[in-house]
Every structure is written in C-alpha cells, then in structure tokens.
Structure 1
C-alpha cells in the first residue's frame, strides 16, 4: 500500500541545530519512527540526557527511552484552556527549523520519490548557509 504524504521527524539541540532527521511515509506512526531515529541520535550524541517531544510521542515511548537509552523524554503538553494556534514552550525551536526549510518550499513538494532522498535533501538544506537579502552585501 502506498501513501503519498511524508512525515519529517527531527531531533534538534536547544539552538535548533539538526542532530537527526528521519522522513517516513505518512502511514508510519510517530512512536515507531521515533524509536529508530532515537537509536541513530543516541549512538552519535552520547551526552544527551533530556528530550522534549509533543503529544504524538506519548505512551510507551517514554519508558522505552528511559530503559534503552537512559534518556528522559518529557512531553510538552498543551493545556485544555488554550484556544487557537499557540506555539508551546520548547516547541518553537523545532518550528523555527521547519520554517527555515519551508522558506525554500522544497518540503512542500515531493520531488524525491524515496524517503532516504528526502532525508538527504533535508540535511543538505539545513547545512546550506543563509543567503543575504538581495541588494545587500
């Protein structure tokens, strides 16, 4: 079964610098993708102690992180009295990365057929230096 949508799972540091990325089809669950991505990130970055995640990563993943990687996975929850679009604390760091990626509009289109190609393009775009606005040196 083919799914045309994509999900981008990212791990960033507190400055918003990309530590790991995984692109999956839209029918892959957040927790399943997070387990694979966390293996990659934990192997490469041994000093991690705390991760913040949104509500899509709740459930058994919290215990899995603690038991497997000795990482504390803190879920940033939205309170019930919030209305409309509100960027949650710590969530703005990831949202800023996605805004940077969407500035080129490349993730809005699925030019790459394979998820591995989409991951490589995401890594390339985050490492590309920012261009100065036209007319300025």
Structure 2
C-alpha cells in the first residue's frame, strides 16, 4: 500500500485535460467524510482545490464564489453527494467539470476517492483512488 499520494495524485487526475484546446473550468464539492470529522473533510477539500489551482492547467472556482452563486440560486449543498447533484451544481456554476469524492478511514488507513464529472454529459471522465497509512493530518501534505 503506497504511503505517498503526492507523486501521482493531481497529475493522474488531470491527465486528460493537459492538452485541451481550451482551459477547462472546475468546481470542487466538499469531499464526503467517512470516519473523519466534517472539519477534516473541508480542510482536505480546500487542499485539493489549492493544489488544482497550482497546476495552472485548469480554472478552479473558489469556495466563496461557489457558495455565493449557489446561495443566490437558493441551492443547498448539504447532502449533495451524487454525480447527478454534482452535474446540477456544475450547471448553476457554469463550469465544464465537477470534482467530487470521499475520504474514508478504516483503522489507520485512509482511502481517498476522487472523480471528475463532465457537466455536459454527466459522465465520470477521470477517477483516482489512493490509500494512505498514517494520521489524518499527514494527508494534507499528500494531496498534490
């Protein structure tokens, strides 16, 4: 089981977008926490969003902007974990892709499962699952 995610995680997730003609736009739903606290899930989601921005290969909508647009549309994100809901959010935000997923814990092993969903087709265009053994705070340095 690999200890480190960072050597592969973001580049593998974005492989199909590296050579795109236009810069694709993304919004990131909060990772669904399974066996971790909601605050930890939000912190890991924020790290994922920041690392996506650092790639400079995609446009990423910021959390605050996303919340403002959805609030104006009277849309509640609470319980939005399905791909269908992600597509609906993506349409409201006018992005081409949504990132959704979960982080779960079994004992000292964390499983990060992230997928990219095309807002146009509703299809999962990319997904990646990685396992990490250690403490949850170690994941902050691993999502790259």
Q: Relative contact order (C-alpha < 8 Å, sep 6+): which is higher?
A: 2
Greater fraction strand: 2
- Compute the TM-score of the two structures, normalised by the length of structure 1: 0.31
